[in-house]
Amino acid sequence: MDALPDFRMLNPATLDEALAARAANPGSIPLGGGTDLVVNIRRGIVAPPVLIDMNQVAELSTIKADVNTLEIGASVRLTALAEHPAIIKHYPVLAQAAGHIAGPTQRNMGTVGGNLCLDTRCIFYNQSEWWRTANNHCLKTTGTVCHVAPKSRGVCFATFSGDLAPALLALGADVDIAGPAGKRSIPLNKLYIGFARQDVPVSETQGDGKFYLSLRPGEIVTAVRAKNTPGLRSAYDKIRIRKSIEYPVAGVAVALKREGDRLAELRVAFTGTNPRPVLLDGTAALTGGGLDECVYKKFDALVRDQIMPMKTTFTPGHYRRRVAGVLARRLLTRLFED
Ligand SMILES: Cc1cc2nc3c(=O)[nH]c(=O)nc-3n(C[C@H](O)[C@H](O)[C@H](O)COP(=O)(O)OP(=O)(O)OC[C@H]3O[C@@H](n4cnc5c(N)ncnc54)[C@H](O)[C@@H]3O)c2cc1C
Ligand code: SF4
């Protein structure tokens, strides 16, 4: 196993101290539980000279959850989220997603901020230094070619695999961000800019896969917030290779409202498939009536069109797309009939 390289660790106690530490150390990056970041440092994928430990920042470690609203600090641990009684009751999709992440050890260490800002993954990237060197590296680090799509013209297709993002997208969440220019709040969907469909220049709203978050230099995620929708039914499910501890082959969050025999509202979001979590477009057109075969067919077509996995994990892309569709259909049926 590779040894950890040298780095300095700063331990701010307040958000202001954390922001000042980032500003004073331009190459620094925030450290949540370190369950992904430290692995990547050990593998030589990233080499920050300074880590800013977010775990002592008390104002980022609180959960406020009731029947009306939800607010979760970025340093809240995944276990706390999965076990929170009000979240289990009013926002089940989120508690279930948190409970499906990795294994108990990672959930005890891993944080909400770290999960939302999780680096994208690929079998050519999440490897040891010698493995990547033997393969001449790839676009995501120091190489010149994407091994998944050699004709990709600079675009990386590594997969976003965080489980919380789809659950929060289905709840319509916003994310709070703090940085050198102050605080701002954006819809969670806008945090993710991983390449999805077109080959266009990198901008604040559209990355090339190497850049997958819209955070500006020095910015930190501080919290995520959502309002409850009365009558919303929600749930999360995922398929993974080892059920006790594994990233999703595909993960799906579904939130819907049923009024009588009508599907009144539908939100569906995926992870483990594209370079960003995908909030399915076009679901409003499926609402207004019951759930019949015609609705399911249109639903399958939306999934086929928007879920575009590449060969970046151990399972083939077409398999992940089928799994995502089947999981989503099952959740949709179950929640509608509950
Ligand atoms: C064996 C194994 C299995 C795993 N399975 C899963 C899984 O099933 N599902 C899943 O989602 N994840 C999985 N993971 C990945 C990881 O454990 C989780 O995603 C965890 O939630 C990451 O949180 P963390 O606090 O440890 O993040 P860290 O590793 O500390 O950080 C991750 C990234 O987020 C950034 N970051 C951290 N906090 C902030 C902040 N406040 N603002 C801005 N950026 C920030 C860091 O700089 C880093 O780039 C797995 C990991 C392992 C080792
Ligand atoms: S998709 Fe291509 S560029 Fe991105 S990590 Fe994989 S091999 Fe590298």
Q: pLDDT (tens digit, 9 = 90+) per residue, 127-156?
A: 998 999 999 999 998 899 999 888 887 889
Query: In the prediction, which pLDDT does 314 show?
Result: 79
Selected residue with higher pLDDT from 205 and 142: 142
Indicate if the pLDDT at residue 84 is higher than 90.
yes
From 15, 29, 36, mutation site for ligand 1 pocket: most ligand atoms within 8 A of C-beta: 36
Q: Is the dihedral of CA 304, 165, 256, 320 positive or negative?
A: positive
Answer whether residue 8 is part of any domain: no
Final residue before a domain boundary, out of 197, 227, 257? 227
Q: Are residues 189 and 321 in the same domain?
A: no
Query: In the prediction, which pLDDT does 310 show?
Result: 82
Closest-CA residue to 193 (of 150, 163, 155, 246):
155
- Regarding pTM above 0.75, the answer is yes
Selected residue with higher pLDDT from 210 and 81: 81
Ligand whose nearest atom lies closest to the CA of 60: 1
Indicate if the pLDDT at residue 206 is higher than 70.
yes
* Weakest mean pLDDT among 24-33, 96-105, 202-211, 273-282: 202-211
Answer whether residue 95 is part of any domain: yes
Q: Is the CB of 45 under 6 A from ligand 2?
A: no
Indicate if the pLDDT at residue 197 is higher than 70.
no
CA–centroid distance, 36 to ligand 1, in Å, is: 5
**Average pLDDT over every residue of 195-215:** 74
Answer whether residue 52 is part of any domain: no
Answer whether residue 149 is part of any domain: no
From 107, 115, 214, mutation site for ligand 1 pocket: most ligand atoms within 8 A of C-beta: 115
Q: Half-sphere exposure (CA, 13 Å, Cβ side) for 25?
A: 18
Q: pLDDT (tens digit, 9 = 90+) per residue, 244-258?
A: 788 988 999 999 999
Residue nearest to ligand 2 atom 2, measured at CA = 146
Q: Are residues 91 and 177 in the same domain?
A: yes
Question: Distance between CA 14 and CA 56 in Å, rounded?
Answer: 8
Indicate if the pLDDT at residue 1 is higher than 60.
no
Q: Is the CB of 72 under 6 A from ligand 2?
A: no
Indicate if the pLDDT at residue 196 is higher than 60.
no
Final residue before a domain boundary, out of 227, 244, 259? 227
Q: Is the CB of 147 under 6 A from ligand 2?
A: yes
**Average pLDDT over every residue of 231-252:** 91
Q: Are residues 101 and 175 in the same domain?
A: yes
CA–centroid distance, 196 to ligand 1, in Å, is: 22
CA–centroid distance, 298 to ligand 1, in Å, is: 34
Ligand whose nearest atom lies closest to the CA of 54: 1
Within 6 A (CB) of ligand 1 lie 29-37, 39, 54, 74, 78, 101-102, 106, 109-111, 113-115, 117-119, 161-163, 220-221, 245-248
Indicate if the pLDDT at residue 272 is higher than 70.
yes
CA–centroid distance, 46 to ligand 1, in Å, is: 14
Query: In the prediction, which pLDDT does 201 show?
Result: 66
Q: Are residues 254 and 212 in the same domain?
A: no
Q: Are residues 186 and 322 in the same domain?
A: no
Tokens describing residue 44: 């030589």
CA–centroid distance, 216 to ligand 1, in Å, is: 19
Q: Whole-number mean pLDDT of the chain?
A: 93
Selected residue with higher pLDDT from 58 and 241: 58
- The total of structural domains in the chain comes to 2
Task: Could you list the beta-strand ranges (E) of the chain.
Answer: 8-10, 29-31, 50-53, 63-65, 69-73, 174-179, 182-187, 220-227, 233-239, 250-259, 262-271, 278-279
Closest-CA residue to 276 (of 155, 171, 179, 181):
155
Q: Is the CB of 195 under 6 A from ligand 2?
A: no
From 123, 127, 138, mutation site for ligand 2 pocket: most ligand atoms within 8 A of C-beta: 138
Selected residue with higher pLDDT from 198 and 166: 166
Query: In the prediction, which pLDDT does 45 show?
Result: 92
Query: In the prediction, which pLDDT does 213 show?
Result: 94
Answer whether residue 328 is part of any domain: yes
Which range of residues forms the domain containing residue 215?
59-117+159-227
* Three-state DSSP state, 262: strand
Answer whether residue 188 is part of any domain: yes
* Paired residues of 201 in beta bridges: none
From 46, 72, 101, 252, mutation site for ligand 1 pocket: most ligand atoms within 8 A of C-beta: 101
Report the CATH number that the domain containing residue 185 is assigned in CATH. 3.30.465.10
Final residue before a domain boundary, out of 208, 227, 246? 227
Report the CATH number that the domain containing residue 243 is assigned in CATH. 3.30.390.50
Q: Are residues 190 and 109 in the same domain?
A: yes
